[in-house]
Amino acid sequence: MPEIEKLSKEHKKFGFKLFLSYITFTILLIISITIIHIHLSNDLNLRDFEREAALQSSEKKKEFDTFFKKKADSVLAIAKNEYFLNFIEDNSYEYYIDLLLLTIMDANKDYMQLRFLDKNGVEKIRFERDNQYDEPYKNLNLQDKSNRYYFTSSKDIPNHAVWFSPIDLNIEHGKIEKPNKAVARVATPIYIKAKFQGILIINIFIQDLLESITKSTIYDMYITDMNGYYIKHKNKEHDWSFYDSKHRLEDDLTTKMVENINKNKQKAKVLSDTIYIQPLNLGKQKLNLLLIKSEKSKQELTDNNNKMVVAILIFSFFMSIIFSMIFSSPLKKMYEIVVLQAQKLRELAINLDKKVQIESLKNAKKDRLLQHQNKLVELGDMIGNIAHQWRHPITRLSLTLQNLKEFQAKGKLKDELLEKSLDTSMHQIEFMSNTIDNFKDFYRSDTVKKEFFVQNAIDSILKIIGPTLKHNNIKINIYDKQHTSIYGNKNEFSQVLMNLIVNSKDAFVDKQIKSPNIDINIEKINTQIQIQISDNAGGIDEKIIPHIFDPYFTTKEKKGTGIGLYLAKAIIEEKMQGKILVQNRQDGVAFTIILKQ
């Protein structure tokens, strides 16, 4: 039994050690927090960049497509004008046609030329302006354009079809017009009484369009062709680099990044934590819109991270000193109290020690038993759900392999069929792998969430079970006028829709419905998003509707585990903070998923 005087002498030495221990622990804690902050910050910044770049590039692509769609509508509207067709046929209404085309040119400041070329390629009427926003005029110096690519390319397209030229610089008399004028052409053939009469063609100034879709406050935006030459560059000296500077992507980006851009199959995607690519298509011309995080944005991000790290370091350091002093100061009094009570505690401890050992052994056995039972239940849930989700992919995979064997036995196994079958098999295997990941993520709390389109989730499901639905003559009707997006885990949400669609399919098969239909209606109502999945399979017995979301409740007897709808409810209500409701309709059942925008 230590004496009070001896403990008091050791108190100062112990207090100093304790203070150093607090400081050491705090330093290690600061380092850990800083590393975690940097890692999470980088990951968050990447997700923010992907989401923001995707939204902005989508708007830019929409602006690009809408611009040329309006031009196509305009040229078709002129081509259908009765007075214009009479003018082409017998030169009647010439005054009115001049007035019509001059008015159209005046109303559209981006129209450079508006011409009609007869069936031989000779200009019959021509209105133009020298520069954008200049006044338009009628040019009487008509020319033979029969050897121009835009005439030979557009005259052979079907009636009422529209042809687009590549975006290029305007060329006059074989030379690029100076200053540079970015133009594109839109044309349509003119038929009267099923006979080709010529083409109507509009030359369009598109410099303003290029400036608009490459304008951004947070990104450097570029437009390149498929050969890596720039059409638009943040440094105007490299605009139209094919003709002037010969500046290409490899002059600005790494070889590996250029290879990734060249490999891109016309899909918008993130190429790195600072580069996003958005394909643009005009007729047969393929372009790339590149969004690269500007140096100013990157520097602001770095500065913010540095400020946060410094703030964490300063705050943690001062707090460590304060807490070290607070917890070290009462040590002397604590030691005195401990010594005075030590004897009593020792006697009590001797008696309690035996009881604690006995109870600890009992509790340890109980804890191990409960943990074992809990793991078995979770394992059973997961296996049951995986079996429920794998049934159709395994059947599909089995049928694919049997078909391959039959075609090989008959000597009809072609490379195209083999490749298609292998692709189908890989889709099934990938889905089964994703199913494992989904269930693993369901039992973890760190599932990745992001914004995604509901239509994309449905499409991913139909890639897997589409053939099965088609085999059973089940028609899927999807109504999504607003192209709705939601926030959450896409794979988990797909599992919910998969369960509902497969349940409807099983009901159709069991009840032998003649014209099975599944309707998926997606709409935004005020601040909510409602997704309704309904069928015409006859509905559910009203008596069991209150129990269909209960775990292990099933109406499929040997085929079901009673976990599918239980898991669907858990995902929607617990993970996505929404609601899932069910009600019978006149000819079937409707499940309604309600989520906040």
198-229: pLDDT as tens digits:
999 999 999 999 999 999 888 899 999 999 99
pLDDT at residue number 370: 40
Query: Does residue 301 belong to any structural domain of this protein?
Result: no
Taking the C-alpha atoms of residue 316 and residue 300, their distance in angstroms, rounded to an integer, is 24
Kindly give, in sequence order, each residue whose CB lies less than 8 Å from that of residue 139, ignoring residues fewer than 6 positions away: 126, 127, 128
The domain boundary, picked from 159, 184, 208, lies at 208
Query: Does residue 218 belong to any structural domain of this protein?
Result: no
Q: State yes or no: pLDDT of 295 exceeds 80.
A: no
Tokens of 578: 């929404």
CATH code where residue 179 lies: 3.30.450.20
Which whole number is the average pLDDT over 6-13?
56
Query: Does residue 156 belong to any structural domain of this protein?
Result: yes
Judgement on whether residues 461 and 514 belong to the same structural domain of the protein: yes
Judgement on whether residues 364 and 414 belong to the same structural domain of the protein: yes
Going by the DSSP 8-state scheme, the letter that residue 87 receives in this structure is H
Range of the domain at 380: 331-442
Q: At 111, give phi and psi (nearest 5°).
A: -80, 120
Which whole number is the average pLDDT over 106-110?
93
Query: Does residue 259 belong to any structural domain of this protein?
Result: no
Judgement on whether residues 186 and 127 belong to the same structural domain of the protein: yes
- To the nearest whole percent, how much of the chain has pLDDT over 70? 77
Burial of residue 9 (CB within 10 Å: 0-12, 13-18, 19+) is exposed
For the CA atoms of 567, 568, 572, 574, the dihedral, rounded to the nearest 10 degrees, stands at -10
Judgement on whether residues 486 and 425 belong to the same structural domain of the protein: no
Annotate 480-518 with DSSP letters as a single string.
-TT--EEEE-HHHHHHHHHHHHHHHHHHHHHHT-SS-EE
Judgement on whether residues 413 and 521 belong to the same structural domain of the protein: no
Where is 111: in which H helix or E strand? strand 111-118
**Residue 522 vs residue 363, higher pLDDT:** 522
User: In 10 A of CB 536, how many CB atoms?
Assistant: 20
**Residue 370 vs residue 274, higher pLDDT:** 274
Kindly give, in sequence order, each residue whose CB lies less than 8 Å from that of residue 352, ignoring residues fewer than 6 positions away: none
pLDDT in tens, 35-87: 775 666 667 777 888 888 899 999 999 999 999 999 999 999 999 999 999 99
- Residues listed for the chain: 597
Judgement on whether residues 388 and 484 belong to the same structural domain of the protein: no
pLDDT at residue number 367: 41
CATH code where residue 365 lies: 1.10.287
pLDDT in tens, 402-455: 888 888 888 888 888 888 888 888 888 887 887 676 555 544 544 678 889 999
What single letter denotes the amino acid at residue 542? E
Which whole number is the average pLDDT over 321-335?
59
User: In 10 A of CB 167, how many CB atoms?
Assistant: 22
Query: Does residue 356 belong to any structural domain of this protein?
Result: yes
Q: CA of 167: how far to CAs of 132, 210, 400, 457, 565, in Å?
A: 17, 10, 46, 35, 53
Burial of residue 342 (CB within 10 Å: 0-12, 13-18, 19+) is middle
Q: Do the Cβ atoms of 571 and 500 come closer than 8 Å?
A: no
Confidence band for 396, pLDDT divided at 50, 70 and 90: confident
SS3 at position 23? helix
Query: Does residue 252 belong to any structural domain of this protein?
Result: no
Most confident of 358-362, 472-476, 568-572: 472-476
Q: Do the Cβ atoms of 238 and 247 come closer than 8 Å?
A: yes
Confidence band for 330, pLDDT divided at 50, 70 and 90: low
pLDDT at residue number 80: 92
What single letter denotes the amino acid at residue 145? K
Q: Total structural domains in the chain?
A: 3
Taking the C-alpha atoms of residue 186 and residue 285, their distance in angstroms, rounded to an integer, is 13
Judgement on whether residues 384 and 519 belong to the same structural domain of the protein: no
Q: Which of 566, 540, 555 is nearest to 385 (CA)?
A: 566
Q: State yes or no: pLDDT of 249 exceeds 80.
A: yes
Q: State yes or no: pLDDT of 554 exceeds 90.
A: no
Q: State yes or no: pLDDT of 8 exceeds 60.
A: no
Strand 230-232 versus strand 219-225 pairing type: antiparallel
Q: Do the Cβ atoms of 584 and 516 come closer than 8 Å?
A: no
CATH code where residue 472 lies: 3.30.565.10
Of 338-342, 389-393, 450-454, 463-467, the poorest mean pLDDT is in 338-342
**Tokens 């585990």 correspond to what residue?**
561
Of 86-100, 279-293, 351-365, the poorest mean pLDDT is in 351-365
Query: Does residue 1 belong to any structural domain of this protein?
Result: no
Of 78-87, 366-375, 506-515, 546-555, the poorest mean pLDDT is in 366-375
The domain boundary, picked from 415, 442, 469, lies at 442
Judgement on whether residues 437 and 455 belong to the same structural domain of the protein: no
Where is 175: in which H helix or E strand? strand 175-176
Taking the C-alpha atoms of residue 103 and residue 74, their distance in angstroms, rounded to an integer, is 13
Query: Does residue 405 belong to any structural domain of this protein?
Result: yes
Judgement on whether residues 335 and 466 belong to the same structural domain of the protein: no
Q: Which residues pair with 188 in a beta bridge?
A: 200
Give CA 153 to chain center in angstroms.
37
pLDDT in tens, 141-161: 999 999 999 999 999 999 999
Taking the C-alpha atoms of residue 331 and residue 325, their distance in angstroms, rounded to an integer, is 11
User: In 10 A of CB 118, how many CB atoms?
Assistant: 17
Peptide bond preceding 189 in cis form (omega within 30 of 0): no
Strand 475-479 versus strand 517-525 pairing type: parallel
Judgement on whether residues 84 and 199 belong to the same structural domain of the protein: yes
Q: State yes or no: pLDDT of 375 exceeds 50.
A: no
Q: Do the Cβ atoms of 487 and 449 come closer than 8 Å?
A: yes
For the CA atoms of 360, 364, 370, 372, the dihedral, rounded to the nearest 10 degrees, stands at 180
Q: Do the Cβ atoms of 545 and 551 come closer than 8 Å?
A: no
Confidence band for 567, pLDDT divided at 50, 70 and 90: confident
Q: Supply the pTM of this predicted model.
A: 0.49
Q: Is 193 left (phi over 0), alpha (psi -120 to 50) or beta?
A: left
Going by the DSSP 8-state scheme, the letter that residue 35 receives in this structure is H
pLDDT at residue number 182: 92
Judgement on whether residues 435 and 451 belong to the same structural domain of the protein: no
pLDDT at residue number 185: 96
pLDDT at residue number 477: 93
Going by the DSSP 8-state scheme, the letter that residue 571 receives in this structure is I
**Residue 258 vs residue 11, higher pLDDT:** 258
What single letter denotes the amino acid at residue 468? T
Q: State yes or no: pLDDT of 180 exceeds 50.
A: yes
Of 248-262, 326-340, 410-424, 498-512, the poorest mean pLDDT is in 326-340
pLDDT at residue number 369: 53
Judgement on whether residues 498 and 406 belong to the same structural domain of the protein: no
Kindly give, in sequence order, each residue whose CB lies less than 8 Å from that of residue 313, ignoring residues fewer than 6 positions away: 30, 34
**Residue 427 vs residue 551, higher pLDDT:** 427
Mean of pLDDT over the chain: 82
Taking the C-alpha atoms of residue 109 and residue 232, their distance in angstroms, rounded to an integer, is 22
The angle that helices 295-328 and 4-79 make with each other, rounded to 10 degrees, is 160
The domain boundary, picked from 395, 413, 442, lies at 442
Q: Do the Cβ atoms of 593 and 541 come closer than 8 Å?
A: no
